[in-house]
Structure 1
């Protein structure tokens, strides 16, 4: 059990330290909001795509064996989405809050917190498996987010066709998805190895991705929002921090997952609410204050839940 606890601490503490450093630097005025916005844009559009592309291209992972893992992840996502939709329609009166609540529960921060924790736990192999999982499930996240948030739109231009086009645009302009599609295509075709100069440049960008993303995540934490939870934001946070990880374990066991595949499923699902959820709520006219509260609280607290769950799964030999 001691070994399992040490394992859990070692995969979560680096993330906490980097986020704490980002928070400290922001409080000291050493980084500005403009820097955070620009660095986040740089990470999302250049560093993370490089990380995903080269982790897939360089790996020897048998991606056909990931079908079970991806299927389990899709099942978990749909159960969380449908369950929170039913709960929201029954217990939440304001339509501007319903979609925010639902998205706060089913949509996790796989690209930053999830991948960083998987990389800490399993190294390059885990990163490659996590990248493929993230690519597929991210598409589903975008589709479901538009569906649940579209109920608050009051625009006459917002039709089923416009929402469908929005989903298609988000999927096919997402740098992370494009990087994964490019990597799969490259591996499938009889192409020569990536030139060493390009590969080294990509490796340098990839090395920046997760540390800089975690620093920005920490610098973006709003303690006031985190401590200003309403009953609704607390309910959503419990759904993300407690219910989602437990469901991931149950579905993973039902699908017979063990080892790195169970670990990837758990860590990806147990991650905090995705930062992109706030941006989408703001753009589609939802309750952005509620979204900010859920995001701030889960970003910090979920890391402790991930450590606890990882320790238990490791002790049981499942992760």
Structure 2
């Protein structure tokens, strides 16, 4: 049991410490909103793509087990999506709230919180497996988000074809997806390993990605929004913090996942709501205040939920 507790603390506490540092820097005026925006863009455009690319290129992943892991992740995402859609159709009347609620339930922070906890738990091997998982599930996340947020739009004249074109453009220009496709192509062509200056530069960029992303995430936390949540915020957050992790365990076990693959699935699915969800909700005319509240509440509370769940799974020898 002691080992399980230490494991849970090891994967979560470093993330919380970096987020607390970002929050402290923002409160002390040491990190302006301009800095946070520019640093977040730098991480998304250059550092995370480098981390994902080299994680895949350097990996020796068992793609048979990886396919099962991805299938489990896709199924969980679809169950959460359609479950939230049915719930919102019955209990939520405002169209501006519906899509934001649904997105808050099914969309987790894969690339920052998920990947960083996996790195803390499993190191390079975990990063390699998590990178491939992100490549597939990110595409699904963006597609489902556009579908549910299209219930309301800032432009009432915007047609479905234009919305589909918009999400397709975002997918094919997404730096994370492009980096993963490049990595898969490099592996498929059996090209020689990347060494020397190229790999050293990639390692330097990769090493910046997760710490800087966590600091920016912490600096973006709005405590006032978290401490005064609406009813819908609490409901969506409860689904993200409680229902999603439980579903991950049930689906993971039913798919026969154990060890590192079960760990990756659990940590990816149980991660807090994605920061990108707030940006997309605001851009498409959804209730951005609700999106911000869900993001804040799940980011702080959800980290402790991840620790408890990981500790229990470790104690039972499942991850």
SS at structure 1 position matched to 2:150: helix
* Aligned equivalent of 1:79: 79
Q: Distance in 2 between matches of 1:153 and 1:40?
A: 26
* Aligned equivalent of 1:241: 241
Q: Distance in 2 between matches of 1:220 and 1:143?
A: 25
Q: How does 1:1-319 map to 2 (within 5 A)?
A: 1-153=1-153, 155-319=155-319
Unaligned runs of 5+ in 1: none
Report deviation, 1:170: 1.4
Q: TM-score, normalised by structure 1?
A: 0.98
Deviations 1:261-319 (A, max 9, x none): 00000000000000000000000001000000000110111000000000000011100
Q: TM-score, normalised by structure 2?
A: 0.98
Unaligned runs of 5+ in 2: none
Q: Distance in 1 between matches of 2:128 and 2:97?
A: 36
Q: Distance in 2 between matches of 1:162 and 1:118?
A: 37
Q: Distance in 2 between matches of 1:316 and 1:270?
A: 18
Q: Distance in 2 between matches of 1:180 and 1:46?
A: 13
Q: When the two structures are aligned, how many residues end up with a matched partner? A: 319
Q: Distance in 1 between matches of 2:156 and 2:121?
A: 48
Q: Distance in 2 between matches of 1:146 and 1:266?
A: 25
The answer (yes or no) to whether the contact 2:172–2:178 under 8 Å persists in 1 is: yes
Deviations 1:222-258 (A, max 9, x none): 0111111011111010010111111111110111110
The answer (yes or no) to whether the contact 2:248–2:269 under 8 Å persists in 1 is: yes
Deviations 1:68-109 (A, max 9, x none): 000000000000000000000000010100000000000000
The answer (yes or no) to whether the contact 2:272–2:299 under 8 Å persists in 1 is: yes
Report deviation, 1:114: 0.1
Q: Distance in 2 between matches of 1:283 and 1:181?
A: 27
- Structure 2 CA distance for partners of 1:156 and 1:230, relative to 1, 3 Å: closer
SS at structure 1 position matched to 2:123: helix
Report deviation, 1:193: 2.5
Report deviation, 1:168: 1.0
Deviations 1:123-174 (A, max 9, x none): 0000000010011000000000000000112635422211211221111111
Q: Distance in 2 between matches of 1:310 and 1:10?
A: 10
